[in-house]
Amino acid sequence: MSTSAPAVAGSRQPSADVRGEAARRRTFAVISHPDAGKSTLTEALALHARVIGSAGAVHGKAGRRGTVSDWMDMERDRGISITSAALQFAYRDAVVNLLDTPGHADFSEDTYRVLTAVDAAVMLVDAAKGLETQTMKLFAVCKHRGIPIITVVNKWDRPGMDALALMDEIAERTGLTPTPLTWPVGIAGDFRGVLDRRDGSYRHFTRTAGGATIAPEEVFPADQALAREGDAWTQAVEEAELLAETGAEHDQELFLAGATTPVLFASAVSNFGVGQLLDVLVDLAPAPADRPDADGQPYPLDAPFSAFVFKVQAGMDTGHRDRLAYIRVCSGVFERGMVVTNASTGRPFATKYAQQVFGRDRETIETAWPGDVVGLVNAAALGVGDTLFVDRPVRYPPVTTFAPEHFAVARVADTSKYKQFRKGIDTLAGEGVVQVLISERRGDGSPVFAVVGPMQFEVASHRMEHEFGARISLDSLPYSLAMRTDEASVPAITASSGTEVMQRADGELLALFTTKWVMGMVREKPGVTLEPLIAAQLG
Ligand code: GDP
């Protein structure tokens, strides 16, 4: 590792600057089911913030993913949804960081981990479909982490559900009380504008050709709205009154506490309601705050630089096979070239190559503040969850791993490639592509891949073959459930059939069970300790 880069002490920065810069940051992700319009909304946000000239410039959606290998091969051509990490743009006085959560039908752990790096989430709901499976899973992760959620009902330009029914569904299925900030004028499919519940005014949207430019918005007082929109306005007013009676009013404390969710209505493809979302993010979403360290003690924003790795991505560039580690800055100021310490290994890391990555564009980053994301190049020494710091040691809690639900023994197809096989396995484990388990009972020492979603197997196989030159075979194991256990429990657990105990790469002992029923029986045995891992579907 190069040590020629000059060390820059983060503590040199006056703390007022750090707090001020942090206060301007809004770092969030969009959680949604595939096809709800996340890419379209991202483009529309970028358009509004004038990052791009016209919508559609960020990436073309021409080649939608067919199979996993398509996806792997297409990743460089595709644009934002796979290779990007964060889109940063200025809006009003704020700096907005939009972190990308890849929207594969198979929500891998990778997606969940991005949520450890945000301060808020936008839950994007398709007006016709309501809350879909992946939305619910991602929502569960946000809830578990206490991340405040802003809900956007998208595609209001198309026929869909009744707005009040949607609010009921949100309340019932998420437990959050929806507090609409705007209310649609015109039913789904006849989107004319919104009633702004904060001042009772009518915001009328005007469509632009192909939604390629910002939709002009005109504001009218209530009496003029009635004259313009007639019954559609009357209905919106009546429904808004109903909402008021049920107490669906925004309360900043309840929102931050994860009890309520402000709701906006939008049509991302026509850019309707997108400016309002930006305003709500800036006005209501929380700025980065002192982040609790591994002991639960808040680590001050204005302490020297610290950050943690929330995502590692390899093989983005077939030419170099580089490995990027994405960090979220938690305190202090990041200055490119600074030498930081990796808290897990105690080793120094020179941040000579620091980038902002969005789509195919990579830009060198010189400075970053709390809430910002930096892509560190040549980061072979960094793994997901590692804490980096200067001057004052700190360690952030380990990044969550989720309870795996699918298990398969990995074997190298050609034994002469064993070295490549080992290297590949270590790399994939470090990146968190799969969890790697070792079973003493399996004599050949073959590692077991444990995943949350089966597509992770395909991604791992593909990369083992194409990136590491070690084709593998995967034999599924019959387990569907994993619990944390300890050494003392092992004999009693393994005495039952339909069970096995394995050790994960992080040292954790995991008891695997074929069924919930088997697990229930084993749990009843005296002296057996079983603790749940975090399930991908919480509650
Ligand atoms: P993602 O999978 O969540 O990224 O969804 P996309 O942004 O790719 O959108 C999926 C499809 O829905 C595309 O055909 C979009 O053009 C379309 N779409 C997105 N937003 C809207 C919207 O507000 N109204 C309508 N009618 N279509 C939309």
Q: Residue 156 sits in a domain of what CATH number?
A: 3.40.50.300
Q: Are residues 270 and 302 in the same domain?
A: no
Q: Give the count of domains, the chain.
A: 3
Report CA(495)–ligand 1 centroid distance (Å): 52
Give the model's pLDDT for residue 9: 44
Quick one: which atom of ligand 1 is closest to the CA of 42? 7
Residues 384 and 509 in one domain: no
Residues 365 and 442 in one domain: no
Digit-coded pLDDT (tens) for 222-258: 999 999 999 999 999 999 999 999 889 999 999 999 9
Domain boundary among 356, 389, 422: 389
Claim to verify: residue 139 and residue 282 sit in the same structural domain: yes
pLDDT at position 321, please?
59
Q: Is residue 5 part of a domain?
A: no
CATH number, domain of 341, equals 2.40.30.10
Together in a domain, 57 and 86: yes
Spell 481-512 as b/e; 16+ CB within 10 A means b: bbbebeeebbebbeeeeebbbbebbeebbbbb
Cα(517) to ligand 1 centroid in Å equals 42
Q: Are residues 81 and 210 in the same domain?
A: yes
| Position 453 in a domain | yes
- Please check whether residue 15 lies inside any domain of the structure: no
Tell me which residue has its CA closest to atom 11 in ligand 1: 35
Same domain, 313 and 434: no
Q: Can you spell out the DSSP letters for 308-327?
A: EEEEEEE-SSTTT--EEEEE
Name the one residue in this structure whose structure tokens are 């479909």.
Answer: 129
Compute the distance between CA of residue 426 and CA of residue 53 in angstroms, rounded to an integer.
43
In a domain, 104, yes or no: yes
Q: Are residues 317 and 437 in the same domain?
A: no
Alpha helical stretches, state H, 293-415: none
Which residues have any ligand 1 atom within 6 Å of their CB?
32, 34-40, 61, 103, 154-155, 157-158, 267-269
Does residue 13 belong to any structural domain of this protein?
no
Cα(70) to centroid(ligand 1), Å? 21
3-class secondary structure, 64: coil
Name, in order, each residue with C-beta under 8 angstroms of 425's C-beta and a sequence gap of 6 or more: 410, 436, 447, 464
Please indicate, yes or no, whether residues 143 and 202 belong to a single structural domain of this protein.
Answer: yes
Q: Which residues of the chain have pLDDT under 50?
A: 1-11, 53-83, 105, 538-539
Final residue of a domain: which of 389, 422, 449?
389
Q: Are residues 363 and 269 in the same domain?
A: no
241 with 368, same domain? no
The CA angle 412-415-420, to the nearest 5 degrees, is: 65
CA atoms within 13 A on the CB side of 79: 14
- What CATH number is attached to the domain comprising 519? 3.30.70.3280
Which domain covers residue 164, as residue numbers? 25-287
Residue 4 lies inside a defined structural domain of this protein: no
Give the per-residue pLDDT at 431.
79
* 161 inside domain: yes
**358 and 423 inside one domain:** no
Ligand 1 centroid from CA 313, angstroms: 27
The answer to whether residue 532 is domain-embedded is no
SS3 (DSSP) at 244 = helix
Last residue of a domain, one of 334, 361, 389: 389
Residue with CA at minimum distance from ligand 1 atom 17:
37
Residue 32 Cα: closest atom of ligand 1? 3
57-71: per-residue pLDDT in tens?
A: 343 333 333 323 333
